[in-house]
Amino acid sequence: MKRVLDILFSFVGLVLLLPLFILAAIFIKIDSSGSVFFKQERIGLNFGPFTIYKFRTMVKGAQAKGFQITAGGDPRVTRVGKILRKTKFDELPQLINVLKGEMSLVGPRPEVKQYVDLFREDYKDILKIRPGITDLSSITFREEEQVLKNQIDPECYYKTTLLPEKIRLAKEYKGNSSFLYDLKLIFKTLRVIALPSHIPQSILYPHKIN
């Protein structure tokens, strides 16, 4: 049932969003050189690698110029990229991944191999289900870039503090996954995008959504 809904909603979403996708592509190309889409290998269902699609928000060759993660104020982010990242519009091409069966609308966010390898035993459980466009961690860490901005070593902080918490939340989602729970997370995702709130510069996040 979940897969049927993923196919239906991703197809309809791609059709309805096509005009906005074209507009975003034009602005991306005008703003900086490089491709419209950012493509990166992520680890999915049963440790299967796949290529994730996003709108490009950084300068050409950004991966060779810094970390895998992005902290607030990262000079690699373009002017248009800042808007796309703030609104999360850059994530919407992942509807293609959903339609292809590599992702779901809701599920644990997919990570790159180097981070999965750090917690491989945990991911043996998490990756029994498809990764998703949104999940508990997407809501909880809505302002992740701003949190990382205030760290002396953002990558170390991500690996030792944020990632373990994301893993815990992914396991929590897996244990509570249902159609109604997925709907709840989708609506909460839309709410935090539409009504972003200030967060304290710390890792004092709630463990559960209400």
State residue 209's pLDDT score.
41
Of residues 73 and 161, the one with the higher pLDDT is 161
Write down the pTM of the prediction: 0.88
Mean pLDDT of 155-175: 94
Mean pLDDT of 45-65: 88
Candidate from 95-99, 111-115, 144-148, 205-209 with smallest mean pLDDT: 205-209
Quick check: 208 and 172 in contact, CB under 8 A? yes
How many residues does this entry show for the chain?
A: 210
Nearest residue to 110 (alpha-carbon basis) of 43, 160, 182: 43
Residue-wise pLDDT for 136-162, tens only, equals 999 988 888 888 888 888 889 999 999
The overall average pLDDT reported for the chain is: 88
- Per-range mean pLDDT, top range of 44-48, 135-139, 183-187, 203-207: 44-48
For residue 166, the tally of other CB atoms under 10 A from its CB is 24
pLDDT at 184 over 60: yes
Quick check: 79 and 57 in contact, CB under 8 A? no
State residue 98's pLDDT score.
98
For residue 157, the tally of other CB atoms under 10 A from its CB is 18
